[in-house]
Amino acid sequence: MAYPTIDRPYGLEPVNLIGGQVFAGSTRMVPIASAYGTSIFNGDLVQLTATGTSIITSTTVPSTSQAAQAAVPGTVGVFLGCEYSPPSGPIFGKIRQQYWPAGTVAQDAVAYVLDDPDAIFKAAVLTQTGATNANTGTTIGFMSQAFVGTNAYFVTGNGGSTTTGNSLAGVTGNTPGASNGTGNVRKDNSTTAPFRIVQLVSDTASTVTTSLTAAASSTSLTVASTTGVFPGMQVIIPAATAGGAQGLYTYVTAVTSAFALRNFTSIPAVVGEAARVLAPGGRLVLLEVDEPGNALLRWGHAVYFRRLVPLIGGWLSDRRAYTYLPQSTAYLPPERELLATVRDAGFPSVTKFRLHGGVAQLVIGVRG
């Protein structure tokens, strides 16, 4: 199926709250000064003045590569519309709009402001086109899974649409530089930016196919055509066989396994494959059974796990399955060997946690 597409940004659209909580549309009503002279559009950031009225937040993307986007004191949330009585009086009730028209005279004007600090927003990605970062531009750009967890600039210089009432603000990464064309590269987190990317949505998903060539002794790949390929896109090379490993997918952030490790025929091959697909800093998480370190607990656990579990399991269900369960632990290597296998596969940082007195283990490796 084809993904939906958008042709312009739409500001910040609330979709959820941190932790999967539902955003129920709760907003705060904040006054707007009569005749305030700047239009505020749905999805714009707003701030409070010293007198307690709301105005559009004035922040710009720094032109210097990887520089911080300065915080604006008084910023309280995102504008989601407004209401006010027309100058001729509320004969037909108050006017409620997606945006605040600049210069509107109304003594009772209020803005609907989402000020929940746990709110998560959806925003369009905008592309950077020059050698330096820009605070304008409405061309839709691309970000891949590698951007998740990094900070993003907020582009505010586009104004908004008086037809839809929506802001034309969006988020962007850092400029890829003049020699690399238009697009985005990840902004490093050494300097601040207003928003953290927590997930990607499919609104701007795009698939571009091209061919690659390389000399037998070369580690570089030559792209046959760069049409439609921009910095920030996720690159998948399924037919590559460099180093004997097929496919280069270094965008995965986590690989997990729960009580399955002892069923693999080759544990080194499994953790090696995990290392191949994980991006630097990605995590391999292995949850498995274990034996307690304490001798008395180890004896009690052995009686329960190797005798009572097959007996009770066989009485309630499939006896062969519950007989195999304790026997399968024989395929698990000793602790030192298991940790060394994970470390040698490309996880320089490996940590083991004993759970429930040692009857289970949690091994976490961080990709180097």
Query: What does the pLDDT read at residue 141?
Result: 83
Is residue 93 included in any domain, yes or no? yes
* Residue 244 clears pLDDT 60, i.e. is over it: no
Is residue 211 included in any domain, yes or no? no
Band of residue 5 on the pLDDT scale cut at 50, 70, 90: low
Residues 312 and 257 in one domain: yes
Residues 199 and 285 in one domain: no
Residues 138 and 32 in one domain: yes
- Residues 114, 120, 121: CA angle, nearest 5 degrees: 80
**Three-state SS string across the chain, please?**
CCCCCCCCCCCCEEEEEHHHCCCCCCCEEEECCCCCCCCECECCEEEECCCCCEEECCCCCCCCCCCCCCCCCCEEEEEEEEEECCCCCCCCCCEEECCECCCCCCCCCEEEEECCCCEEEECCEECECCCCCCCCCCCECCCCHHHCCCEEEEECCCCECCCCCEECCEEECECCCHHHCCECECECCCCCCCEECCCCCHHHCCCCCCCEECCCCCCCCEECCCCCCCCCCCCCECCCCHHHCCCECCCEEEEEEECCHHHCCCHHHHHHHHHHHEEEEEEEEEEEECCCCCHHHHHHHHHHHHHHHHHHHHHHCCHHHHHHHHHHHHHCCCHHHHHHHHHHCCCCEEEEEEEHHHCEEEEEEECC
- Least reliable range by pLDDT among 35-44, 67-76, 126-135, 203-212: 203-212
Domain end marker among 174, 206, 238: 206
* Residue 169 clears pLDDT 90, i.e. is over it: yes
- Least reliable range by pLDDT among 127-131, 347-351, 362-366: 127-131
The domain spanning residue 333 has which CATH number?
3.40.50.150
Residues 7 and 89 in one domain: yes
Is residue 37 included in any domain, yes or no? yes
* Residue 213 clears pLDDT 80, i.e. is over it: no
Q: Of the spans 46-55, 127-136, 177-186, 326-335, which averages the highest pLDDT?
A: 46-55
Give mean pLDDT, residues 45-62. 94
Give mean pLDDT, residues 124-136. 88
Give mean pLDDT, residues 297-317. 77
* Residue 188 clears pLDDT 90, i.e. is over it: no
* Residue 109 clears pLDDT 50, i.e. is over it: yes
Is residue 241 included in any domain, yes or no? no
- How far is Cα 41 from Cα 13, in angstroms, rounded to an integer? 12
Domain end marker among 180, 206, 232: 206
* Residue 19 clears pLDDT 90, i.e. is over it: no
Residues 180 and 119 in one domain: yes
Domain end marker among 172, 206, 240: 206
Residues 202 and 258 in one domain: no
Is residue 278 included in any domain, yes or no? yes
Is residue 152 included in any domain, yes or no? yes
Query: What does the pLDDT read at residue 242?
Result: 43
Q: What is the pLDDT of residues 30-43, one digit of tens each?
A: 999 999 999 999 99
* Residue 346 clears pLDDT 80, i.e. is over it: yes
Is residue 240 included in any domain, yes or no? no
Query: What does the pLDDT read at residue 314?
Result: 76
Instruction: Report percent pLDDT > 70 for the chain.
Output: 82
- Least reliable range by pLDDT among 45-59, 204-218, 251-265, 314-328: 204-218
More confident residue, 84 or 235: 84
Residues 304 and 201 in one domain: no
Domain that holds residue 109: 1-206
Is residue 361 included in any domain, yes or no? yes
Count of domains observed in the chain: 2
Band of residue 223 on the pLDDT scale cut at 50, 70, 90: low
Give mean pLDDT, residues 51-61. 93
More confident residue, 291 or 15: 15
